[in-house]
Structure 1
């Protein structure tokens, strides 16, 4: 079993390379009151910096042997805010986005977005649903403008329970029909740490023929009656019609009393036990490391796992489990 590792958005090794610089609504509004052009110019400068830093991060990844990467969802400040509803940011930054996309393709990288927690497809409130659809379409548009095909995915959670999980699962299926096909075709669903278990997410993935992202930390926090050995076959099978290895998220709790928050690093034992079980199915895996120390945590985890039985390191961010 070959295993590749990646990290989320920011590097702690590469200095001054944030892809998530922001312009707040308050700052934009204050500037726009007296000089709308200056306000938009500030947003454009910030977005341009974020995109330039994203390209720097991708070059850092290439030099470091990292093939898996999650883009920041904050690349374009205020992109979906009503204050800038008429702004064609995709056209404004089409050259920069195309350059990023070409780099990804030329170096055979696997990239994704993970829209923020307020993106709730199963919301019973129409205004929240519309905002969620708009946010998903925004992320899809960025990937399209990069020129990236369906292998570049969006990862999202199911949403809230709204005091009735069964109705909320059904509402997800109902609301799903309102997604444009081009957006729906990029989505993957992930189990969360509080509400919807891996088994419930797998149910939706089967109904909608979607790949599932399995978060093993969330599974520990919120497994319900699910057993990992029973979830694994369906999770792996959900990727069979794609060109991609199945993908998991790996992290460790900040402390015994704070299960849901992420630690700076990942305890290799947390992941090794999972990999040992997954190895029996003979399929390759991609691992997204969700840790506060970002790429540094990822590189440390790879080295730590390489010391485990039957695992050897094949690159700075890859392993083989015999």
Structure 2
């Protein structure tokens, strides 16, 4: 079982994830790839074998008003191949997760078109890196306007607008407010793409009251033979915050800085026991530090991540 973290490296003083300069400064995919290479070597040094790349790895490549950046995956194809070869050599599983503005099922035709373009860019990057089918682009269903069926219909339509290469990378995740596991399983039946199960989202939004073990098994079964499934795991935030001299209670859906090791141990030894192998992307604000701390805590408790 691989454990991964997303985007930011906080350990060893921190590492930049990509070229974040504004477009006027001509940010470059080449700079981003230098930074990705440094992160891959950091992962290897700490025996971390899964990493979520920043969506903006190729700066502005999907921006509709800055077409001068669109050909970055082609311009830097050779460098992408080199970094992809390094990821394979180090056996680091890579993925990406476009954010809230990539809405493939939007009612707005322009927003849907931009979402398709973003998915095309992500697929071009992964293909140029020579990454296998385990390198996926995770997406939420999107907006719920018009009701569940209409929203799923729009996602299916948006998916059909993507190229074969982009469709081959896409996987769908349940969310914490609108589209539960049963909804993304329905999408799997329609478009044939795997489901990434997010356990915290499931605990926040599960109108069908599906037990965790059953939910996990259902999601894992959507992945094709020969491709290791992945899920998302996080612990809910429990710490109080003070804003404007007032205490603010955390929302259940908010991610904690670290992963609760006791809850995670229970998940491994009870919920996941006996099910097919899968990888876990940890979604904690502590990023790589949360992963390393969890791994140390599991070792101290005698819990193995491999069978």
TM-score in terms of structure 2 length: 0.89
1:7 corresponds to which residue?
A: 5
Q: Distance in 2 between matches of 1:92 and 1:179?
A: 22
1:112-153 Cα distance to aligned partner (Å, 9 max, x none):
111112111111111010000000001111111212232211
Query: CA contact under 8 A between 1:17 and 1:54: conserved in structure 2?
Result: no
- The aligned length equals 295
Query: CA contact under 8 A between 2:58 and 2:73: conserved in structure 1?
Result: no
Q: Distance in 1 between matches of 2:79 and 2:103?
A: 29
CA separation of 1:307/1:200 partners in 2, compared to 1, >3 Å: closer, same or farther? farther
1:248-278 Cα distance to aligned partner (Å, 9 max, x none):
1111222363222211111123323332334
Q: Distance in 2 between matches of 1:277 and 1:210?
A: 27
Structure 2 residue corresponding to 1:300, chosen from 282, 293, 300:
293
Q: Alpha-carbon deviation of 1:160?
A: 1.1
Query: CA contact under 8 A between 1:264 and 1:297: conserved in structure 2?
Result: yes
Q: Distance in 2 between matches of 1:194 and 1:91?
A: 38
Greater Cα offset, 181-190 or 158-167: 158-167
Q: Verify: 1:230 aligned to 2:228, yes or no.
A: no
Structure 2 residue corresponding to 1:78, chosen from 47, 60, 71:
60
Q: Verify: 1:197 aligned to 2:180, yes or no.
A: yes
CA separation of 1:188/1:203 partners in 2, compared to 1, >3 Å: closer, same or farther? same
Going by fraction, where is strand more abundant, 1 or 2?
1
Q: Alpha-carbon deviation of 1:94?
A: 2.2
TM-score in terms of structure 1 length: 0.85
Q: Distance in 2 between matches of 1:266 and 1:80?
A: 34
Query: CA contact under 8 A between 2:5 and 2:283: conserved in structure 1?
Result: yes
1:34 corresponds to which residue?
A: none
Alignment of 1:119-198 (within 5 A): 119-198=102-181
Q: Alpha-carbon deviation of 1:163?
A: 4.5
Q: Alpha-carbon deviation of 1:173?
A: 1.8
2:242 corresponds to which residue?
A: none
SS at match of 2:86: helix
CA separation of 1:82/1:167 partners in 2, compared to 1, >3 Å: closer, same or farther? closer
CA RMSD in angstroms comes to 2.0
1:20 corresponds to which residue?
A: 18
Q: Alpha-carbon deviation of 1:165?
A: 1.7
Query: CA contact under 8 A between 2:217 and 2:275: conserved in structure 1?
Result: no
1:267 corresponds to which residue?
A: 260
Query: CA contact under 8 A between 1:251 and 1:266: conserved in structure 2?
Result: yes
Query: CA contact under 8 A between 2:232 and 2:283: conserved in structure 1?
Result: yes
SS at match of 1:299: helix
Query: CA contact under 8 A between 2:170 and 2:193: conserved in structure 1?
Result: yes
- Structure 1 regions of 5+ residues with no counterpart? 29-38, 313-318
Q: Alpha-carbon deviation of 1:175?
A: 2.5
Q: Alpha-carbon deviation of 1:57?
A: 0.6
Query: CA contact under 8 A between 1:23 and 1:78: conserved in structure 2?
Result: no
1:32-91 Cα distance to aligned partner (Å, 9 max, x none):
xxxxxxx4xx323xx433221110110111121111111111222222113321442123
